[in-house]
Structure 1
Amino acid sequence: MALPVHYMTVLQLPRWAIKDIERKCRGFLWKGQEEISGGHCLVSWRKVCSPIEKGGLGVKDLNLFGQALRLKWLAKSLEQKDRPWTLATFRPGSDVEEIFRSVAEHIIGDGVNTQFWTDNWTGKGCFAWRWPVLFSHVSRAKLTVADALIANRWVRRLQGALSNEALGEFFQLWDEVHDVSLQQMAKTIKWKLTVDGNFSVASAYDLFFIATEDCSYGDTLWHSRVPSRVRFFMWIALKGRCLTADNLAKRNWPHDAICSLCQHENEDCHYLLVSCDYTAAVWRKLRRWCNINIAIPAEDGMPLADWWIATRRRFQNTYRTDFDSLLMLICWLIWKERNTRIFQHIAKSVDRLADDINEEIAIWRAAGIFSQASE
């Protein structure tokens, strides 16, 4: 796997190659096979590739990860100019270069290796972006800071009569650079996305998701102690993407629309795990057994994820992890009971399912999932 990573560090993978790799990844994730149909993909690949704190699985988006690696090439080529590979005539792409200019601040030093117009050497953005009208009058954009500041040489590179807007930008630029003094030191880069100012691929990759809303339960879910298959199920359930009747109908797959647990209402993820009378009865029994004075999900009327995060705050920190495990265990066994009724035509009473949950709690406690303090 090292070869593709080093390849993406320098060159962009062809789009067809990325699609082929991602298709095989989807097949492995959703069905354990190399090829699957779109109906088996319960969550879009874009969401799967989102970071955990954004509600995804943290699987790398190959296109975005490749851009982050090419940003590393630009950063290291400026930091390590004595290395032979920096002499290669390689450009990582205009999109990557624009991102780099906006996030990397050039500590100019003597200004010999810093571009006056296109490098972000003032920390406020490159001049070509900030004053595009004035930049349109520049005859030669390749001008170093050292050369530009000698007798205001950058002014002599302007051509044509300046419009009123261009004049306004000219005077703003003049005020910003006329007092700049250079120092006899090597140029360095300050990466704005890290505390220490050093470039990291992780911070560059996270930049692509900065506008995505944070997920309230992402870190809590994936740092819980429950088995991986239960966490994965819970992730799908909280997104409302389990193969309940509503989602089966969207795929035109055979299904019974009525909830198999209560036989009262049409089934979807929220109804099955929150509103169903059978599910509510299971929650009430567990509440009495655990002697926990909290409202069950059906009583609060909130989505399950919101109820989970709001309710866990009522516990002391030492008990929150146990509460997370209990929630997921109950949802998991309710889901298994639902499937047993559909595929095996065997039904358990509320009392029997509550007993099964208690037995499973004991097994999980022996495995270290529940703390001994929660007995």
Structure 2
Amino acid sequence: QILCLRPLVKEHLIYKCGNGEHFSLWFDPWLHGDSVHALYGHMVMFEAGLSKHARVKEVIRDGEWCWPQAPCDVVELQQRVRSIPISTAPDSIHWDKVGEVFSTASAFHGIRQRFLSVDWHDIVWHSRRIPKHAFSLWLALRGAHRTKDKLLAIGVVHSTDCAFLCGETETLQHLFFQCPFSSMVWREVLLMCNIVRPLLSWADEVLWMSTHARGSAFHHTMRRLAFAATVYHLWIERNRRCFKNVFLPYQEIIRLVKQDV
């Protein structure tokens, strides 16, 4: 997968030719962003009579370009390189522009795909977040949790019954917070945050939190933390029941949420 990014990364690299000791004459993109081989093919190496391992320095004599006498492709190449200055400085590679210092951050921002910010960004990736809670909430918001309805579709399980034994089909929307078990947990957590309102569908809960848990006020931070902690501990309890056959009462889940927040 990383190697697939090579063409994309290439667009950000600038090869600045110096004394020619390090750049491949044929394969490095020192010629105005392209390699000689990419522009003229393999035949130019044969016509020039130079090894495929040749360095740029082999066509530099006394500070000037000095190509072998050869057919038209090499003559054209001689014309193209005249605008490239020769110096005694070593060859160098730059990121985006000459003199720019490379960093992993600049590389990441340079090659990543950019999308519009989502409304729920601030309730997940805020400065007070608990990393494992934020990650679990992010998965839920992306619809990435492998609930039983998804697992049934790919043949992993034979039943979609909710792990909280309510008899309903386990979906993301059901787990958060339409299931009687999870709704009891979430209702109590809301009360601890001094929020008294009916429970909403998952999409509406996210919208409500995105609207009413913004900013740096203490009660907004508590709401964000409580929301993420509830999603995290409900998902952990669901997995605990599925894989370990261990069942905690809803009061214990509330205690764990309170302890973390």
Structure-2-length-normalised TM-score: 0.59
Residue 316 of structure 1 corresponds to which residue in structure 2? 215
Query: Structure 2 matches for 1:280-359, cutoff 5 A?
Result: 283=186, 286-287=189-190, 289-291=192-194, 298=201, 300-301=203-204, 307=207, 311=210, 314-317=213-216, 319=218, 321-335=221-235, 338=238, 343=245, 348=250, 357=254, 359=255
The answer on whether the counterparts of 2:13 and 2:95 sit within 8 Å (CA) in structure 1 is: yes
- Whether 1:272 aligns to 2:184 is no
User: Equivalents in 2 of 1:313, 1:119: separation in Å?
Assistant: 55
Deviation at 1:97, TM superposition (A): 9.7
User: Equivalents in 1 of 2:126, 2:155: separation in Å?
Assistant: 29
Greater C-alpha Rg: 2
Q: CA RMSD in A?
A: 5.4
Residue 28 of structure 2 corresponds to which residue in structure 1? 119
The answer on whether the counterparts of 1:118 and 1:126 sit within 8 Å (CA) in structure 2 is: yes
- Whether 1:106 aligns to 2:24 is no
Deviation at 1:268, TM superposition (A): 2.0
The answer on whether the counterparts of 1:294 and 1:311 sit within 8 Å (CA) in structure 2 is: no
User: Equivalents in 2 of 1:187, 1:126: separation in Å?
Assistant: 18
Shift in CA distance, 313/154, structure 1 to aligned 2, threshold 3 Å:
farther
Deviation at 1:179, TM superposition (A): 3.2
Deviation at 1:224, TM superposition (A): 5.5
- Whether 1:245 aligns to 2:158 is no
User: Equivalents in 2 of 1:213, 1:246: separation in Å?
Assistant: 31
Shift in CA distance, 118/158, structure 1 to aligned 2, threshold 3 Å:
farther
Deviation at 1:325, TM superposition (A): 2.1
Residue 84 of structure 2 corresponds to which residue in structure 1? 180
Residue 51 of structure 1 corresponds to which residue in structure 2? none
**Which of the residues 210, 214, 217 maps onto 2:111?**
210
User: Equivalents in 1 of 2:238, 2:9: separation in Å?
Assistant: 52
Deviation at 1:272, TM superposition (A): 1.2
Residue 86 of structure 1 corresponds to which residue in structure 2? none
Query: Structure 2 matches for 1:28-47, cutoff 5 A?
Result: none
Q: Secondary structure at the match of 1:246?
A: helix
User: Equivalents in 1 of 2:197, 2:156: separation in Å?
Assistant: 39
The answer on whether the counterparts of 2:37 and 2:44 sit within 8 Å (CA) in structure 1 is: no
User: Equivalents in 2 of 1:222, 1:317: separation in Å?
Assistant: 9
Residue 59 of structure 2 corresponds to which residue in structure 1? 147
User: Equivalents in 2 of 1:362, 1:321: separation in Å?
Assistant: 14
Query: Which residue type is aligned with residue 110 of structure 1?
Result: N
The answer on whether the counterparts of 2:9 and 2:111 sit within 8 Å (CA) in structure 1 is: no
The answer on whether the counterparts of 1:109 and 1:182 sit within 8 Å (CA) in structure 2 is: yes
The answer on whether the counterparts of 1:101 and 1:125 sit within 8 Å (CA) in structure 2 is: no
Aligned identity (percent) is 17
Q: Secondary structure at the match of 2:214?
A: coil
The answer on whether the counterparts of 1:108 and 1:188 sit within 8 Å (CA) in structure 2 is: yes
Residue 363 of structure 1 corresponds to which residue in structure 2? 259
Query: Which residue type is aligned with residue 268 of structure 1?
Result: T
Query: Which residue type is aligned with residue 317 of structure 1?
Result: S
- Whether 1:156 aligns to 2:69 is yes
User: Equivalents in 1 of 2:68, 2:227: separation in Å?
Assistant: 68
Question: Unpaired segments of 5 or more residues in structure 1?
Answer: 1-45, 47-63, 68-94, 365-369, 371-375
Shift in CA distance, 300/210, structure 1 to aligned 2, threshold 3 Å:
same
Shift in CA distance, 294/148, structure 1 to aligned 2, threshold 3 Å:
farther
Shift in CA distance, 213/270, structure 1 to aligned 2, threshold 3 Å:
farther
Residue 5 of structure 1 corresponds to which residue in structure 2? none
Query: Which residue type is aligned with residue 144 of structure 1?
Result: V
Deviation at 1:311, TM superposition (A): 0.8
Q: Secondary structure at the match of 1:124?
A: coil
Deviation at 1:187, TM superposition (A): 1.0
The answer on whether the counterparts of 2:213 and 2:223 sit within 8 Å (CA) in structure 1 is: no
Deviation at 1:137, TM superposition (A): 3.9
Structure-1-length-normalised TM-score: 0.45
